[in-house]
Amino acid sequence: MTIPAQGPARGPDGPHPDQDPGHRPAEGSGTADGGPATAPPAPDQAAPDPASAAPAPARPAGKPGAVLPDLADPAFWQAPPEHRLAAFARLRALDTPVYVAEGRGRGHWALVRHADVQEASRLPKVFASAPGVTTPEPARWVRALFGDSMVNLDGPDHARLRKVVQRAFTPRLLAEAERDIDAVAARIVDDMLAERPDEFVAAVSSRLPLEVICNMMGIPEEFRPEIADRVNHASENIGVERGLAARLRMPGRGLRALARMQRMVAGIGRERRRNPADDLISALVCANVDGQALGARQLGAFFSLLMVAGVETTRNAITHGLALLTDHPDQRDLLVSDFDGYADGAVDEMIRHSTPIIQFRRTVAAEHSLGGRTFRPGEKVVLYYASANRDEAVFGPDPDAFDITRSPNPHLGFGGGGPHYCLGAHLARQEMKALFRELLTRPRDLRATGLPDLAGSNFDNRVRSLKFTFTD
Ligand code: HEM
């Protein structure tokens, strides 16, 4: 299929990317008679046997004649955002989740409604995180390397690990981190004013989350440039790639970058176990009162998780935030008129609207009916947070509007609740508030001058770069 081009560059007063009407919808390979892009098993049919051919065709209920998108088609993820949103709205209108074939007998059921994503998140005994939450299935060597990353664990194994790493997020440490966040945010804006960069991601949004986590962990300065480089390298290869070689892929090259970073951090951990300091790595590797501590490999896995889950996500949320404020000057004016009064709402609305993590997967562990379908053990479901966050049933009548006064705002940007709910949600909100406070009160007229250069990933709503300007 034709991959629609990215939207036009935003001029100083250019249009919002989501509102540009000049694109043909990314229809995927859906059938014109309303059938799904890939034929699913009938609602009560057993899970597709990976060894057999594609599951038997069945026609989901829904609007007759609607063309359904193919979520496994990389072109779908590279199409302009408004086309994806329209496609998800069509999927939400169906009576049952659609089946998305990923090839070679693999596939998943797409959970796209707010209520379904929330329910699946809160039933970990039914919708398990093991063997992995990324799509497609991680390769065996990836599981061997990242198998003990907490996102991929369930039950007591997960609870034990989460309890140990929760030491990073105690009120005392978070209060210390908050003071640090304010100082780092101020320094980034000092540098911005002095150096006058024109690209926001490298100069501003990527710096804060990386520096905050490295400070919390006690990563020595000399390691940081290399870590920044490896994080970029790793995330660049997660999800869908653009261009001729576009295909769904596991982040092979990226994971190797993470693996090197893991070894580096594991080395620091071994050193801190011998010579403990007053930092988080020392706290994590030295046993607490319960005798619990992270091994060197677990420490490396946790650090990699923080880099992907905590740095990338926050950097993307901040970058989308600037684009959103630029495109909605009324909301920006409102925020500036009373920053402390509106900041909490603005940050959550930025996260809802941009949904930095698009989806995570679960594997069905026990039979369960949800969203009009009975799921069987072994089947895969994918929780599409990006769709849940635009569900008209919760955010109507205009779920696509950017409204910093939206209240309540029960978005699922940090997950749908349950045991894996984002550990860093508070920290991320603090970072975003601190940086936008500096950005909106010190320079004048800070705004994006181009459209976000989106990576076209099916995993995270990643922005490679965003041109911007400001006056002193
Ligand atoms: C805007 C920024 C962020 C977004 C949108 C985000 C989103 C998410 C999502 C969707 C999950 C999965 C929840 C689930 O499966 O139910 C998650 C998990 C997680 N996040 Fe975040 N996150 C952000 C920032 C952070 C930060 C700053 C940190 C740490 C410094 C962090 C650490 C984690 C960890 C450790 C997990 C795994 C928790 C577990 O498996 O028990 N996140 N995050």
Helix 252-274 to helix 224-235 angle, to the nearest 10 degrees?
A: 150
Question: Residue 97 falls within a domain, yes or no?
Answer: no
Dist. CA 242–CA 220, nearest whole Å: 35
Q: Which atom of ligand 1 is nearest to the CA of 121?
A: 16
Q: Is the domain of 331 the same as that of 182?
A: yes
Q: What is the pLDDT of residue 209?
A: 95
CA angle at residue 252 from 249 to 254, to 5 degrees? Answer: 110
The H or E element containing residue 248 is strand 248-249
Question: Residue 329 falls within a domain, yes or no?
Answer: yes
Question: Residue 405 falls within a domain, yes or no?
Answer: yes
Q: Is the domain of 264 the same as that of 366?
A: yes
Domain count across the chain: 2
Q: Is the domain of 175 the same as that of 28?
A: no
Question: Residue 269 falls within a domain, yes or no?
Answer: yes
Question: Residue 178 falls within a domain, yes or no?
Answer: yes
Dist. CA 208–CA 27, nearest whole Å: 38
Count other C-beta atoms under 10 Å from residue 430's C-beta.
20
Q: Is the domain of 227 the same as that of 313?
A: yes
Q: Is 369 helix (H, G, I), strand (E, B) or coil?
A: strand
Question: Residue 75 falls within a domain, yes or no?
Answer: yes
Dist. CA 95–CA 357, nearest whole Å: 25
**Among 37, 179, 162, CA closest to 108:** 37
Q: Is the domain of 194 the same as that of 290?
A: yes
Question: Residue 197 falls within a domain, yes or no?
Answer: yes
Ligand 1: which of 176, 414, 431 to mutate, most ligand atoms within 8 Å of CB? 414
* CATH number of the CATH domain containing 335: 1.10.630.10
Q: What is the pLDDT of residue 148?
A: 63
Distance of CA 422 from the midpoint of ligand 1 (Å): 3
The H or E element containing residue 381 is strand 380-384
Q: Which residue, by CA, sits nearest to atom 17 of ligand 1?
A: 422
Dist. CA 457–CA 455, nearest whole Å: 5
Q: What is the pLDDT of residue 138?
A: 60
Residue located via tokens 């998780």: 305
Dist. CA 397–CA 316, nearest whole Å: 26
User: Tokens at residue 420, please?
Assistant: 């894996």
Dist. CA 402–CA 165, nearest whole Å: 34
Q: Is the domain of 213 the same as that of 345?
A: yes
Q: Is the domain of 87 the same as that of 123?
A: no
Dist. CA 3–CA 247, nearest whole Å: 13
**Among 119, 155, 106, 123, CA closest to 380:** 106
Q: Is the domain of 309 the same as that of 403?
A: yes
Domain that holds residue 29: 1-7+20-40+56-91
Question: Residue 48 falls within a domain, yes or no?
Answer: no
Dist. CA 28–CA 67, nearest whole Å: 9
Residue list, ligand 1 pocket, CB within 6 Å: 121, 150-151, 162, 213, 305-306, 309-310, 313-314, 317, 351, 356-357, 360, 385, 413-416, 418, 420-424, 427-428
> Number of C-alpha atoms within 13 angstroms, CB side, residue 234?
22
Q: Is the domain of 217 the same as that of 238?
A: yes
Dist. CA 308–CA 302, nearest whole Å: 10
Q: Between β-strands 359-364 and 380-384, what pairing exists: parallel, antiparallel or unpaired?
A: antiparallel
Q: Is the domain of 25 the same as that of 165?
A: no
Distance of CA 70 from the midpoint of ligand 1 (Å): 27
Q: Which residue, by CA, sits nearest to atom 39 of ligand 1?
A: 420
Q: Is the domain of 352 the same as that of 299?
A: yes
Cα–chain center distance at 133: 12
Q: Which residue, by CA, sits nearest to atom 3 of ligand 1?
A: 313
Dist. CA 183–CA 191, nearest whole Å: 12
Q: What is the pLDDT of residue 170?
A: 79
Q: Is the domain of 81 the same as that of 228?
A: no
Contact 48, 31 (CB under 8 A): no
* Spans in the chain with pLDDT lower than 70: 1-67, 136-148, 232-255, 257-258, 289
